[in-house]
Copies of this chain bind each other. A is one copy, B any other.
């Protein structure tokens, strides 16, 4: 069993794709982790802005959450329709691109790509942050923990989609199960107590109010709460990963994810008001909203620790949704020529290995740059998601205009509603968060689009240049002029010369002297010239080239360039006898001149010289 098999599992046949397809049960962990885990931070983000209102603030969480849930319902119906209309994967890129033109598609793609990288880094860092605040002695290992989780998520994703779904099932369902249990228990207690339950373990006291409620504050709280909605587009992006019947399975998965998310958001909001729980200031004494809520409902029992453990795990693993979607999005872009083609190649486990690796590297870079604490990145990442939502919904409106029938009219209405709602949200999010970082995305997204256009231009140019060749030209079939540089007469040089005489009669032997001329001439005469003369083959001249600057490669390249100039219609071939070592580390023992010479010859401007590598092995 090789290391590769151990780490990634055996290679899968292309025909085994079916077995890698996801049902709803495995699809929820793969595509839903990001969306579901946002129940752990969305309400908290909204409540954090209400702290300034003191004890009164908690009353506003219910209407704010209801408006978020309303938006979620609109977006849900829109994406349900998108899945049906684009069963091959109706990500925002495809929908916007096909209906609004390539630029809208690239805009959506760039926004989503930025978002996925951010969401992966922020998710891991939030999970580790929760762990560290529970066990402060781990604080100095924050970055190491973040990177360890990143490596874990990356490795699991490289093993394949289905394996990922199975691996993340337990934490996902543990999280949903425990949180819904808490919510159910809390609601029962609350109703039984006439809406004013007594907390088992009371939340911290409120600070005095320092502000009053206003429209700007409400918008900011709404915008912050909207981070709970990122990840909803994930299913529509990856429809092709689902099992037959594809559309139904994907829709069912989306329904379950959104249903669970709504239940959790609404439940949390209701209980926050019932138990008078608000966000606490960061710093010493900080306690997350979910921690206060669980303690209030169930006390600091074993169940409290199980719940908090599952919250923490799911936060850390929420990065997984980015790992499911980012590579698929990159693959679509690569197939259209907007990103490098290796991103479209499926690896041994039928996943897009290069895309997964690129995401892991970007994410690691962000984590290292911010030392594992990515709080400052949070304001950046709802803009991208909502921009993509809006473009996708608008695209769907255009899509339905082309379809006849009253059902299409209704569907268009749903998507139009979604488009307007998400457009308004983009405006709110971008405005309220512009100064705290959202402006960075206005630089990053155009930069990504520029790179994508440049890539596409390059591929177009290459394809235009290499396409439609003339038929094979069979005039001038003279064998090439062969150049063979040798350092001394040994078995390696002999192997090179043996090959040379098989392909040509015009052979130039080059001997670059960096020091004193040596005594190769005698051996040469006996070992080479005599047998050749006997066999009646024209004897190649041994040309000594002096190199006052001790460069070995340049004189050879110069010689070849001159030959090319002298014989414009002949092909020149340089034979490079190459010493092949048994172990990679032995290559440090040689100066790798063969490699340098090869690349100097091949990458030379306007060169048309062919390079022939004749290998020579220690045991051959």
Which residues of A line the B interface, CB within 8 A? 11-15, 340-342, 345-346, 348, 455, 458-459, 461-462, 465-467, 469-474, 477-480, 489-494, 497-499, 501-504, 514, 526-528, 530-532, 534-535, 537, 548-551, 571, 573, 578-580, 586, 588-591, 598, 602-603, 606-620
Contact = CB atoms under 8 A, between A and B. Distances in A.
B497 A472 contact: yes
Most chain B beta-carbon neighbours within 10 Å: one of A14, A471, A537: A471
B490 A469 contact: yes
Contacts of A345: 550, 591
A610 B614 contact: yes
B598 A606 contact: no
B549 A348 contact: yes
B611 A612 contact: yes
A143 to B, nearest CB: 16
Contact of A498 (B13, B472, B527): B472
Given A13-B548, A503-B503, A591-B342, A472 B613 contact: no
| Chain A contact surface mostly | mixed
Contacts of A618: 461-462, 465
B490 A527 contact: no
A-B interface, 3 closest residue pairs, ranked by CB to CB distance from nearest: A466-B490, A474-B535, A469-B491
Contacts of A578: 602
B503 A589 contact: no
Given A474-B531, A550-B14, A602-B578, A610 B615 contact: yes
Given A548-B13, A606-B617, A471 B612 contact: no
B602 A620 contact: no
Nearest to A530: B471
Contacts of A341: 589-591
Given A471-B530, A491-B466, A610 B607 contact: no
Nearest to A613: B611
A522 to B, nearest CB: 13
Q: Taking each of A345, A466, A535, which has the highest tally of chain B beta carbons within 10 Å of its own beta carbon?
A: A466
Given A459-B589, A620-B608, A503 B479 contact: yes
A468 to B, nearest CB: 8
Given A465-B618, A474-B531, 14 more contacts: A13-B549, A341-B590, A458-B589, A466-B492, A470-B494, A470-B527, A471-B526, A471-B527, A472-B494, A478-B502, A499-B571, A503-B503, A602-B615, A606-B617
Nearest to A618: B465
A502 B476 CA distance: 9
A609 to B, nearest CB: 7
A520 B618 CA distance: 42
A174 to B, nearest CB: 36
Contacts of A469: 489-491, 493-494, 527
A264 to B, nearest CB: 41
Given A471-B530, A580-B603, A550 B346 contact: yes
B480 A499 contact: yes
